[in-house]
Amino acid sequence: TQLLEQSPQFLSIQEGENLTVYCNSSSVFSSLQWYRQEPGEGPVLLVTVVTGGEVKKLKRLTFQFGDARKDSSLHITAAQPGDTGLYLCAGAPSSNTGKLIFGQGTTLQVKP
Amino acid sequence: EPEVTQTPSHQVTQMGQEVILRCVPISNHLYFYWYRQILGQKVEFLVSFYNNEISEKSEIFDDQFSVERPDGSNFTLKIRSTKLEDSAMYFCASSGRDRGHTIYFGEGSWLTVV
């Protein structure tokens, strides 16, 4: 069974600080997606990374897919209170299926 | 921006009753999915559907569950005889031709079985 482990599970920081969330597995994924989920709502797609070593930037968010396609990271620069929320990584074991394996999520709190 | 829409947003049902959750995927998408999230737990894959048939299903998706695309726009999940442990948020999702790469989720249907 493929697993994705996210760390840390909880993170509380001050506005303006930088942070990194990690998503690790012993298995290879054909792609990896990062989502943000608000309470009672569906996951909202932030980014998809497909190629090993790929780096994508979305304003203050930087996403990286590991060279071996087994891990990924999300780095937020100068966090703001609006970044508060649950961040999920989800990996696709195969390019032939839409099955995603989700991590348990990282709850981020950014205090003003 | 196109989005996946789901109804109802919340349903309370008695144990043993049948429930149908409905979804309208993004219009030009070809692959459709149901996921669920029990309160406080991970999002879990239930089933994927392509070309009018199930392409993959998880162990959770037993004989009590079925999916259907009755027309060109709707995609439904039926639970025949609900159990207490079926209480969860059910998410419909869809993807285009590059499935497995970019999957878009609906807002979810919160099912409470009492």
pLDDT tens per residue across span B34-75:
999 999 899 999 999 998 999 999 999 999 999 999 887 899
Burial of B99 (0-12, 13-18, 19+ CB in 10 A): buried
pLDDT at B99: 47
Nearest CA to CA, how far is A34 from chain B (Å)?
Answer: 10
pLDDT at B101: 63
* Residue among A42, A44, A98 whose CB faces B100 most closely: A98
Provide the mean pLDDT of chain A: 94
**What is the per-residue pLDDT across A61-73, written as a single tens digit (0 to 9) for each?**
999 999 999 999 9
Nearest CA in chain B to A95: B100
Query: In 3D, which of B49, B96, B90, B93 has the Cα closest to residue B68?
Result: B49
CB B108 within 8 A of CB A42: yes
Q: Using the predicted structure, report yes or no on whether residue B29 has a pLDDT greater than 80.
A: yes
**What is the per-residue pLDDT across A96-105, written as a single tens digit (0 to 9) for each?**
777 899 999 9
Nearest CA to CA, how far is A14 from chain B (Å)?
Answer: 25
Interface membership of A55 toward B (CB under 8 Å): no
Query: Which backbone phi and psi does B85 adopt, to 5 degrees?
Result: -75, -5
Q: Using the predicted structure, report yes or no on whether residue B7 has a pLDDT greater than 70.
A: yes
The average pLDDT across A67-88 equals: 96
| Residue B98 pLDDT level (bands cut at 50, 70, 90) | low
Say whether B44 and A102 touch across the interface (CB within 8 A): yes
Measured from the Cβ of residue B97, the count of other Cβ atoms closer than 10 Å reads 9
Query: A99 to chain B: which residues are within 8 Å by CB?
Result: 33, 45, 48, 56, 58, 100
Query: A40 to chain B: which residues are within 8 Å by CB?
Result: 89, 108, 110
The average pLDDT across B75-93 equals: 97
Query: A91 to chain B: which residues are within 8 Å by CB?
Result: none
Give B46-52's long-range contacts (Cβ < 8 A, gap of 24+). B46/B77, B46/B90, B47/B77, B48/A97, B48/A98, B48/A99, B49/B75, B50/B99
* Residue among B4, B42, B48 whose CB faces A98 most closely: B48
The size of chain A, in residues, is: 112
The count of CB pairs under 8 A between chains A and B is 72
* Residue among A97, A101, A102 whose CB faces B56 most closely: A97
Q: Using the predicted structure, report yes or no on whether residue A36 has a pLDDT greater than 70.
A: yes
CA distance B88 to B11: 10
